[in-house]
A and B are shown apart, each in its own frame.
Chain A
């Protein structure tokens, strides 16, 4: 685990690496991926983080951000994906602090691909703006966002897929799903496709909804309390994010952490 406390430019070596952002100050970080790599970044503390990544031509890079700050976190990110490179950004948060994240992904050269996935257990203000922009032909952008909104939570997801003029043969897809357990919680999803080219494929899907009354009845009729139903359903919704990086030890650890957190939050 490499601790990050001050602004740095990091050239990633290939394979798996772990970082921990733990600073009371604002910080600027740049990650350059010149070889295939899997990067796990745990955010312990940090107020205002500026983050850049650069994924070089032909490189496959995966970043998993695990947010567990106790104070409000603001993240401003930009990600550059070059020719035939493949970037996967994954975000997980189940902490009680507010988050404001602005993620901007540029599919900068032909054949670039990016996938943005997120999972959030929401008990505070979670505000996300995500833009994935195709600048060149034959690029591919995909977003999938999952959230479970609990009491006192406000989830806001503004997801924009954009294909500029001239970026023919590109694709932009997105799915956002938000689940809540009663009518007091707030969830807003704004899915947007901005398409300036004809020869493209684009899609979006979203659901915002409460857990079906019949589903809860069915589970409770087997003896589970509402808290246990909430916990099982939330776990099923959010857990897949822990499998983003193909590393068995890491997956096991994250799964346990997330399950423990969900259990604690859902039984409150």
Chain B
């Protein structure tokens, strides 16, 4: 059985400790809900499992299917069966969805996926997720709406068939119909392939569509409380205040972590050549 086993995980970002000792085990076919106020480490935990270079593991271990995840590069983790549906999927101009997906599928196989098989698979997936038909030929996420980007994450998941998927607020930016479409596709993969899930969401509605067996509450870098699906429902009704009181914890101040510069551009006129005659 493929299990993800996390022991005493400490993670820092730019020298600041965000995760302060996480223990979590996710077995095959299990669905875990990960809840907690913003800025308390949910996304950090998922990014650290996937291997984002900015997140530095200072202590602890992560094993998946008996393999040391922390010793693997990001692409090796993906090929081992881990998948992260990101909160902010990147836009990559010049690279089409179809070229990207074919390359990603081929690295998992001995021989390249035959073109016809690939086209059939992507057509089915596009239909499952009710995306526009030209998706395959568009550049990866470029000019996509927020909702389209999230659905495209699930397109990739369905094509790559991971054994453990992490969803980082994949439901934000989706309308009610899209939410149902996305949840149905995810549940199909869970039921057909036994894919296990770690689901980060703030909304009970999503957990009704993807019912977790376990709910964990992450506050200030620690899992302070674990329970079943009812815990997610109670948080939805009552918020987190009762947990702060009963478990004597304080949420971390929300960090402004998502802001970053994107492109490098400069403007230069060369004063030395101004007077030059051509």
Name A residues whose Cβ lies closer than 8 Å to a Cβ of B: 104, 131, 133, 160, 162, 190-194, 204-210, 212-215, 217-226, 228, 232-233, 235-237, 239
Contacts and interface: CB of A to CB of B under 8 A. Distances in A.
Contacts, number: 103
A218 B92 contact: yes
A191 B91 CA distance: 27
A222 B273 contact: no
Interface residues of B, number: 43
B269 A225 contact: no
A232 B264 contact: no
B160 A223 contact: yes
B273 A236 contact: no
Contact of A222 (B52, B93, B160, B266): B160
Contact of A207 (B86, B95, B107, B264): B264
B111 interface: no
Given A208-B264, A223-B79, A218 B270 contact: no
B92 A224 contact: no
Contacts of B107: 223-225, 228
A153 to B, nearest CB: 18
Interface of B: 50-54, 73-75, 77-79, 83-84, 86, 89-90, 92-95, 99-100, 103-104, 107-108, 139, 156, 160, 260, 262-270, 273-274, 276, 278
Contacts of B103: 224, 228, 232
A195 to B, nearest CB: 10
**In the complex, the 7 A-B pairs of residues with the closest C-beta atoms, listed nearest first:** A236-B94, A223-B78, A209-B264, A220-B74, A218-B90, A222-B104, A220-B75
B100 A222 contact: yes
B92 A222 contact: no
A209 B263 CA distance: 8
B90 A213 contact: no
